[in-house]
């Protein structure tokens, strides 16, 4: 123990658990990498106004959860609470939307920060893998993203997740609905804060988790009854394409997301084994975001899946990922001369692409073999003075326990052949 601990709401990823995180990031990004999405990495902090304007002045994320700071030079920055605004900012800054065909398809993986009340599945530092397809209004693009996320989760073996789908309309039809909803909400028995929310962001009230509120919301006007013809047709096509792909989803006319930039398609991946923090991922279309941050009109769509919650979902379903041992060969030297010879062998094996580790430090055979076992290596190479005098090392199969003497100059080839 040191004097210090990881800050509240954060935790460290350490082996062997950390290997699961790497595997999950890999599994989520694999379908994207194979579908034309290029990797993008942006800074961990941005101008605070990027998020204030992009994510929305009235959202919890901006009003309560942002880590903000003023630099010595006087810049107002925020640790990124999400990735979409940053990725769009980066694409615009690099003029990617002018460079070639649209959409610009990007994927990312990284740390995000929200000052939330920590609980299981909700942290102040968390990890997302996300995808953004910028600059095209095409229902097939919305469908592609939903299908790829579904494929990612299935490749991990997850089964108990559901996809909730909704359309939030566009700048034509949503204001009309907003009015109707506001009128309805004003007639309810709501506390002051909720009434205030009804004035600023009435759709968010639909998302209120309290039963006393939900009871009153029965009979609230639904956005789906207010969608304009274009939005309706667009949504029907998204639904048809996902259905044709064999991806199951549920229409959720009350699905509202916690960020203000969404238009039309919105969706959430929820997992039933996670309790209150059940959203493992979410996303949707954000046709107005580019203009909101000073760019040209660039209709876009994307999602982000939470890596932490995906790992919790794996645990909830009892899924253990098949993560191969990082080390194939573990070298155990007995004595000083053997140390030099085996260390040379280790370097040669590594150059040949064989994942090899070495037993460091002066210790007895038993302690050495314990290290070999812990490494998960398939083979151990053990050598003492007598072996070296005969020009051999002992190659031990850690699974069967069987041990054979192999000539020093044949070792690399023998190991490679037996691993193949
Ligand atoms: P979001 O729904 O705010 O969307 O976050 C996406 C996912 O990140 C959530 O479903 C959850 O799994 C994870 N997550 C969020 N906050 C926390 C937290 N405090 N602790 C642990 N996990 C968390 C976005 O961030 C949008 N940028 C998604 C998007 C991309 N929309 C369009 N493109």
CATH number, domain containing residue 132: 3.30.930.10
pLDDT value of position 325: 86
Ligand 1 near 122 CB (within 6 A): yes
Task: Name 326's Cβ contacts closer than 8 Å, sequence gap at least 6.
Answer: 19, 355, 375, 376
Residue 144 pLDDT > 90, yes or no?
Answer: yes
pLDDT value of position 1: 80
Query: Which of residues 289, 316, 343 is at a domain's end?
Result: 316
Indicate whether 333 belongs to any domain: yes
333 and 310 belong to one structural domain: no
Distance from Cα 82 to the centre of ligand 1, integer Å: 7
263 and 395 belong to one structural domain: no
Query: Which of residues 250, 282, 316 is at a domain's end?
Result: 316
Query: How confident is residue 207, by pLDDT bands cut at 50, 70 and 90?
Result: confident
pLDDT value of position 410: 96
Which ranges of 94-246 would DSSP assign to H, the alpha helix? 96-99, 139-155, 174-186, 192-200, 202-205, 211-217, 229-244
The residue segments making up the domain with residue 290 are 18-173+227-316
Ligand 1 near 287 CB (within 6 A): no
Cross-strand bridge partners of residue 47: 77
Q: Which two tokens stand for residue 151?
A: 């494929």
Into how many domains does the chain fold? Answer: 2
- Whether residue 303 contacts residue 13, with contact meaning beta carbons closer than 8 Å, is answered with no
- Whether residue 150 contacts residue 249, with contact meaning beta carbons closer than 8 Å, is answered with no
Indicate whether 220 belongs to any domain: no
Query: Which of residues 258, 292, 316 is at a domain's end?
Result: 316
Q: What is the pTM of this model?
A: 0.94
Backbone angles phi, psi at 173, to 5 degrees: -90, -25
- pLDDT by residue (tens digit) across 368-413? 999 999 999 999 999 999 999 999 999 999 999 999 999 999 999 9
Tell me how crowded residue 419 is: count the other CB atoms within 10 A of its CB: 12
333 and 312 belong to one structural domain: no
Whole-number Å distance between alpha carbons of 165 and 255: 7
Ligand 1 near 309 CB (within 6 A): yes
Indicate whether 357 belongs to any domain: yes
Residue 346 pLDDT > 90, yes or no?
Answer: yes
Indicate which atom in ligand 1 lies nearest the CA of residue 307: 12
Indicate whether 179 belongs to any domain: no
Query: How confident is residue 200, by pLDDT bands cut at 50, 70 and 90?
Result: confident
59 and 150 belong to one structural domain: yes
Indicate whether 214 belongs to any domain: no
- Whether residue 404 contacts residue 382, with contact meaning beta carbons closer than 8 Å, is answered with no
The percentage of residues in the chain with a pLDDT greater than 90, rounded to a whole number, is 90
- pLDDT by residue (tens digit) across 32-51? 999 999 999 999 999 999 99
Query: Ligand 1, atom 17: nearest CA belongs to which residue?
Result: 122
SS in 3 state form for 68-94?
EEECCCCCEEEECCCCHHHHHHHHHHC
Indicate which atom in ligand 1 lies nearest the CA of residue 279: 10
28 and 95 belong to one structural domain: yes
Task: Report the b/e string of 380-413 with b at 16+ CB within 10 A.
Answer: bbbbbeebbeeebbbbbebeeeeeeebebeebbe
Query: Ligand 1, atom 20: nearest CA belongs to which residue?
Result: 122
277 and 150 belong to one structural domain: yes
The percentage of residues in the chain with a pLDDT greater than 70, rounded to a whole number, is 100
Q: Which two tokens stand for residue 76?
A: 């107002």
Mean pLDDT of the chain: 95
Q: Which of 114-123, 191-200, 347-356 has the lowest mean pLDDT?
A: 191-200
pLDDT value of position 362: 85
Nearest to 183 by CA among 202, 200, 209: 202
158 and 253 belong to one structural domain: yes
Query: How confident is residue 73, by pLDDT bands cut at 50, 70 and 90?
Result: very high
Distance from Cα 280 to the centre of ligand 1, integer Å: 8
- pLDDT by residue (tens digit) across 268-325? 999 999 988 999 999 999 999 999 999 999 999 999 999 999 999 999 999 999 998 8
Indicate whether 203 belongs to any domain: no
281 and 308 belong to one structural domain: yes
Q: Which two tokens stand for residue 141?
A: 């693009």
114 and 260 belong to one structural domain: yes
Task: Name 55's Cβ contacts closer than 8 Å, sequence gap at least 6.
Answer: 61, 62, 81, 82, 85, 259, 260, 261
402 and 278 belong to one structural domain: no
70 and 134 belong to one structural domain: yes
Whole-number Å distance between alpha carbons of 214 and 217: 5
Whole-number Å distance between alpha carbons of 198 and 221: 14
Residue 327 pLDDT > 90, yes or no?
Answer: yes
pLDDT value of position 412: 96
Ligand 1 near 114 CB (within 6 A): yes
| CATH number assigned to the domain comprising residue 376 | 3.40.50.800
pLDDT value of position 197: 87
DSSP 18-74: HHHHHHHHHHHHHHHHTTTPEE----SEEEHHHHHHHH-TTSHHHHTS--EEE-TT-
25 and 108 belong to one structural domain: yes
Indicate whether 167 belongs to any domain: yes
Indicate whether 116 belongs to any domain: yes
pLDDT value of position 201: 86
Nearest to 405 by CA among 371, 372, 381: 381
Ligand 1 near 282 CB (within 6 A): yes
pLDDT value of position 276: 87
């Amino acid at each position: 123990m040191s004097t210090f601990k990881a800050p509240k709401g954060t935790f460290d990823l350490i082996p062997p658990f950390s290997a699961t995180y790497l595997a999950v990031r890999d599994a989520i990004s694999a379908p994207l990498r194979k579908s034309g999405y290029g990797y993008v990495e942006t800074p961990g902090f941005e101008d605070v106004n990027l998020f204030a304007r992009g994510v929305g002045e009235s959202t919890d994320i901006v009003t309560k959860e942002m880590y903000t700071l003023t630099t010595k030079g006087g810049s107002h920055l925020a640790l990124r609470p999400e990735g979409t605004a940053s990725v769009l900012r980066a694409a615009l800054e690099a003029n990617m939307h002018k460079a070639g065909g649209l959409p610009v398809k990007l994927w990312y993986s990284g740390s995000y920060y929200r000052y939330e009340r920590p609980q299981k599945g909700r942290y102040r530092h968390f990890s997302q893998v996300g995808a953004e397809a910028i600059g095209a209004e095409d229902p097939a693009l919305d469908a592609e993203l939903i299908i790829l996320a579904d494929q990612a989760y299935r490749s991990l073996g997850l089964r108990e997740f559901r996809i909730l789908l909704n359309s939030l309309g566009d700048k034509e039809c949503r204001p009309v609905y907003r009015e109707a909803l506001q009128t309805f909400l004003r007639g309810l028995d709501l506390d002051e804060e909720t009434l205030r929310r009804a004035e600023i962001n009435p759709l968010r009230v639909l998302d209120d988790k309290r039963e006393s509120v939900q009871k009153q919301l029965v009979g609230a006007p639904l956005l789906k009854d207010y969608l304009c013809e274009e939005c309706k047709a667009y949504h029907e096509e998204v639904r048809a394409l996902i259905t044709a792909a064999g991806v199951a989803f549920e229409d959720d006319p009350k699905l509202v997301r916690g960020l203000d930039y969404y238009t039309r398609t919105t969706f959430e991946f929820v997992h039933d084994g996670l309790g209150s923090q059940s959203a493992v991922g979410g996303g949707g279309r954000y046709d107005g975001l580019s203009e909101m941050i000073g760019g040209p009109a660039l209709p876009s769509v994307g999602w982000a899946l939470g890596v932490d919650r995906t790992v919790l979902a794996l645990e909830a379903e009892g899924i253990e990922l098949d993560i191969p041992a990082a080390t194939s060969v573990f070298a155990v030297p007995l004595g000083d001369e053997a140390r030099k010879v085996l260390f040379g062998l280790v370097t040669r094996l590594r150059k040949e692409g064989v994942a090899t580790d070495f037993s460091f430090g002066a210790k007895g055979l038993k302690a050495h073999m314990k290290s070999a076992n812990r490494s998960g290596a398939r083979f151990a190479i053990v050598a003492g003075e007598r072996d070296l005098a005969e020009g051999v090392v002992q190659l031990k199969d850690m699974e069967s326990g069987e041990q054979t003497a192999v000539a020093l100059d044949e070792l690399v080839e023998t190991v490679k052949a037996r691993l193949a």
